[in-house]
Chain A
Amino acid sequence: MPPPAFSPHEEDRLAAPLDRRLALRLLRYGLPYRGWMALAVLLVLLVTGLDLAGPLIVKQAIDGPLRQSVAGASTPLPGSGGGGAPASSTASSPMRQLAAWAALYGLVVALYVSLRYGQGLLMSSIGQKIMRDLRLEIFTHLQRMPMSFFNRNPVGRLVTRVTNDVEALNQLFTSGVVTFVADVVVLSSLTLVLFWINLRLALVTLAVVPFLLLATFVFRFFARKYYREQRGHLAHLNAFTQESIQGMDTIQLFVQEAENLRRFAAINGSYLDAFQKTVFCYSVYFPVIEILGASALACILWQGGDGIRAGTLTFGEFYLFWSFLGRFLNPIRDMAERYNVLQSAMASAERIFRVLDSPQTIRSREAAVRPARLRGEVEFKEVSFSYDSPLPPPLREGVDSPLPPPLREGVDADFAVRDLSFRVEPGETVAIVGATGAGKSTVINLLTRFYDPQRGRILIDGLDLRDYHKQALRRRIAVVLQDPFLFSRTVLENIRLGNPEISAEAAMEAARRMQAHRFIERLPQKHEETLKERGLTLSLGERQLLSFARAMAHRPDLLILDEATAHVDTETEKLIQAALQELWRGRTSIIIAHRLSTVQRANRILVLHKGLLREAGTHDELLKQRGIYHRLYQLQFLGK
């Protein structure tokens, strides 16, 4: 049976087409729960049946035990004493029969209530399960996206995909598909029962249904239109309010309060107008339904009355018509509503699938090397890299195959590093220095494979970086960032980062060696203290020590460290210096240096300038050259 009330308006089809591909893809998430879904449909059918049973029982009672009393003593009834009860026992037997019908009714209601509750809960839980699966799938997919994806997409937008967009699908699953089936079933069975009982009366009474449908769809059309208008104005109103709150200084400095209020009131006024239209729609719709219902009632009285007098209709059947009248309204109203739910869910689904379809660019090959340990030999061979390159290099098939250079030749300004070659021996400490924009952070980004270079090769222990399994390689490398990122988890968790190989004791030992235990001991919950967002309750120095402890606890073979530039007090500075030396002892360390003590202690200093390696050597050698390093030294290190 085709859904009778589901013909979409032309305007809607233009606004948001019902995308079959999207719908099918969404439906696939229900596959694991298809057994439960089938049960839900079955329950819906049962509940619908039970819902209609009530009036039928009352009808039976009126036409059975109550028949004689209802019709009045004066009317002689053909075939009196129905139900096989002898005429002599009329005093007690009809009462007993009545009680039996009432008991049956009670049973039906009990069954109806429990099944309806079960069905509602079942549908909600299927919906919630699908949402849980989908949420996890999005998050998992995002974990495997390259760093460049996160630089392009604002965090807030990604969070919305995982939360709000998934929530928007809720109604689709809980009240969408299954309830739609239920509505169709209710309407058709109501119609069938009425036609079966009395064709003529059914035709007359149901004559009102087309008008009901018409009224509902006209109402829905306008209500939806004004609702959309209203949502548009509300979004505008909220955006305006938010912008005004954030730019309040500017508004006040330019004495625009009055003008701004005028604009706000204008948007607020449009919102009010759209709302008044919606209110008008509702104010008209409910009364119209009232009148249509009364018309149907009038039809029943007019035709039914004649039928009773003529003996073609019993009082019980008359009651049934009267009682079913009210049950036509809800399904008709709901089916119109269902379409709206579907539309907004589709918009969210589309956004979600767009994220799920975004490709993961840097992937580890199956045969990738998973190093247990690294010796810590690092080599850059004529490495060039540009952030502006449209696409990262495709996967390499073999180690020696040449890399395709997607760079546009001759656009030098785009390069973050160019023809960079240097070598770090195992156990060596190398400091990289340079002005802002010299390409220092790019070296870190390439070494940790947040990006792959367009030209040249980076080798660790003689093997190309791309031949390693990405995660396995990163487990052997520790990166300490300039502004340490702490999670709002406990201190201990911030050191272990969920790594099961690091025991709590090992983590605290690392904290002790990194001089972090002193401030940890001072926290109310010590190492079980949960940090605030981004660890902002700790001072910068403390956050650094904690991130050192984190690196230490992971026992890396290669340490990559971006030294903080910000000032800390002398006491903390001493702690940091001591911790640093402990941290880089015995392992290859590459440090972007901002402190004099660090460059002085490094085995070698590489001077980057505008993406090129310009000078290299020890502190004293470089100072004597009186070149770039000499100026950097005066600028960066002397002032501190």
Chain B
Amino acid sequence: MKTVRFIFPLARPYFWYYLAGIILIPPSTYCALAIPRYTGAAVDGLRAGPSGSGAVPAALIGALLLFALGRAVCLFGTRWLIIGASRRFEFDLRNRLFDHLQHLDRRFYDQARTGDLMNRSSTDIDAVRTMAGPCVMYSISTLFMLSLALPLMAAVDGLLTALLLVPLSLLTAAVRLIGPRVQLSHRRAQETLSALSSFAQENFGGMRVVKSFAMEEREIGAFKDLCEVYYQRSLATERVYNYMGPIAGAVGEIAAILLLLAGGGMILSGSFTLGDFIKFGGYQSLLIWPMISIGWVVNQVHRGLASVARLEEVFAARPAVADSGGKSEGGGLAAAVKPEELRGEIEFRRLNFSFNGPPVLQDLSLKIPAGKTVAILGRTGSGKSILASLIARLYAVPDGTLFIDGIDINRIPLASLRQAIGFVAQETFLFSRSIAENIAFGALDRDPLRWKEKASRLAALSRLDKDIDQFPHGYDEIVGERGVTLSGGQKQRVAIARAMMGRPRLLILDDALSAVDSHTEEEILHNLRQAKGDLTVLVISHRIASIKDADHIYVLEEGRIAEEGSHQELARRGGIYTEIFRMQLLAQELEEM
């Protein structure tokens, strides 16, 4: 029933397609059955009469051709309408799943595996579509074929009909029995293939160890064993799978033998004619595919149901981050907040944050005044990146702990909040599009005409312009999957230009220049300062050089604020900051030796 609830609303827009396709099935079946009937009649007519042309009346041949035409038209209509509708159904389902995925939050993606989600959005959708298309078409066609053919056959001879049904129903049973067995066996073979694949992957990945310990020959031996097991299992699958063809062939032949023996006997006794014989043979061959398809449909429905369950799981996931509105302090969404009206003042009030485990941020209170540049310094694992992602609400923020311009962050519409923020994450993710499109990523939907010009202005700001001039296609250069064709520093500079594109009110640089040399970093920071106007900037780094000019610096240690002040104050204090500063000077000194 759950499945019906899932599929029905999706199929509903195509109700008329389905209905029209189904209405065509009975006439289609009728026409198909008419052909053996007319052939039989023609043969019977040949038993007596004068020789010469026109032994079979032209009217009869004409009628037969007309029925064939009718059958053809109906077949076309049924397939085109029903299968076509199922493709549209698939189109809708795909879009809905994608839309849903886009609204799930980071917590979901922290746990989900990409491969698994990909499987659900390809294989599972495919299985559901098969259920909504071919399964519907074949099961209804079979239903009509059986209910129309059997009375016709029984009218000729009831006993013979009953006799022929035996091998035919065996066919259905065989498909039902063999289909799942092939799948099971195939799955076992696939498991071995995936073991084989993991073995190879590990071997290639651990090649240094393999070579260091001269394991090559032994690895080849172990791989050979796996290949042998896979060979055996594949063969086991083939052993079952290969039954299908011969059995389907044999059932047709057995029916033919029965017809020959029983039908032939009745011909001898005079109760049957050759016309009846051919008529029966024709009906028989029309029944073979429907009998196979019953088994096939049942197997497909089994798979489809499992896929529906897997898709429902994804659809059931709800994001914790959404425009639901804060429950405290007045509640409800502050719908009036426009991104350009935000000033960018940030305040953390005694915020605690954890991932179902030890606290990541503890009792954190800090304030970033609008228009100022504030820095957070901390070692790896101090919680500084989480702090940044909370400001963009990538994770759910507890009510009453984080305020932008004095408004609880949960009351600001998510889109407005994020449009007001320019976020440069620690790891740059670029899309496999052109550089210009990557820079203008956040504005692609807004001003489609002017973004190219704007992109080049921002590239200059992030010192990317000279690099781009050297690309063969300039701004139209495609950056490759995840931006592989760019260096780490180039990627980071694209990300900075991208963040500035949307005219943010608040810029967050999370270790954003780690792969850029210190001279270029200096230049970019200078350019940002020049261009910034009343922009609020939050710089997160473990490098003192990147943050020493900030108006205020917080030092984060194990999720708490350990020190704060200006660079001059902190450098003299003799605490963590002083220590980190001393080490970094030393490293710099060493680099110059």
Contacts and interface: CB of A to CB of B under 8 A. Distances in A.
Interface of A: 51, 54, 57-58, 61-62, 65-66, 69-72, 74-75, 94-95, 98-99, 101-102, 105-106, 109, 112-114, 116-117, 120-121, 124-125, 128-129, 131-132, 135-136, 139-140, 142-144, 147, 150, 155-156, 158-159, 162-163, 167, 237-239, 241-262, 264-265, 268-269, 271-272, 275-276, 279-280, 282-284, 286-288, 290-291, 293-295, 297-298, 301-302, 305-306, 308-311, 315, 318-319, 322-323, 326, 435, 448, 450, 470-472, 474-475, 477-479, 481, 485, 487-488, 497-499, 533-534, 550, 554, 609, 628, 631-632, 634-635, 639
Contact of A297 (B64, B219, B257, B273): B64
Given A132-B228, A135-B227, A260 B268 contact: no
A94 B583 CA distance: 109
B586 interface: yes
Which residue among B47, B103, B109, B212 has the maximum number of chain A CB atoms within 10 Å of its CB? B212
Contact of B249 (A112, A125, A498): A112
A498 B218 contact: yes
A450 B214 CA distance: 12
Interface string B194-218: 0011101111111111111111111
B394 interface: yes
B65 interface: yes
A158 B84 contact: no
A237 B586 CA distance: 51
Contacts of B211: 147, 448, 450, 474
B285 A326 contact: yes
Contacts of A162: 196-197, 200
A250 to B, nearest CB: 5
A322 B48 contact: no
A499 B218 contact: yes
A429 B65 CA distance: 96
Contacts of A71: 47
Given A279-B79, A305-B46, A251 B102 contact: yes
Interface in B93-145: 94-95, 98-99, 101-106, 109, 112, 114, 117-118, 121-122
Interface stretch (B154-162, B362-370, B439-447): B439-447
Contacts of B196: 135, 162-163
Contacts of A288: 72
A139 B223 contact: yes
B168 to A, nearest CB: 15
Contact of A488 (B47, B55, B198, B253): B198
Given A245-B101, A477-B212, A554-B213, A635 B583 contact: yes
B222 interface: yes
Interface string B211-254: 11111111111111001101100110011001101110110011
B8 interface: no
24 contacts: A54-B253, A57-B260, A94-B268, A101-B260, A112-B249, A121-B238, A125-B235, A131-B231, A135-B196, A135-B227, A147-B208, A158-B204, A243-B432, A245-B101, A252-B394, A253-B418, A258-B445, A261-B95, A287-B76, A291-B68, A308-B55, A309-B51, A479-B209, A497-B215
B75 A290 contact: yes
Given A120-B242, A287-B72, A309-B52, A298 B65 contact: yes
A238 B39 contact: no
B151 interface: no
Given A155-B205, A249-B429, A294-B64, A58 B445 contact: no
A264 B95 contact: yes
B200 A158 contact: yes
Interface in B577-592: 583, 586-587, 589-591
B64 A144 contact: no
A142 B102 CA distance: 41
Contacts of A550: 213
Interface in B65-101: 65, 67-69, 71-73, 75-76, 79-80, 83-84, 87-88, 90-91, 94-95, 98-99, 101
A159 B198 CA distance: 8
A309 B55 contact: yes
A448 B212 contact: yes
A567 to B, nearest CB: 10
A532 to B, nearest CB: 11
Contacts of B265: 95, 98
A572 B402 CA distance: 40
Contacts of B431: 243, 247, 250
A158 B209 CA distance: 18
Contacts of B361: none
Nearest to A445: B208
A98 B261 contact: yes
A396 to B, nearest CB: 20
B593 A609 contact: yes
Contacts of B590: 435, 609, 628, 631-632, 635
Given A252-B418, A474-B214, A159 B423 contact: no
Contacts of A306: 51-56
Contacts of A131: 231
Given A254-B441, A291-B69, A279 B87 contact: yes
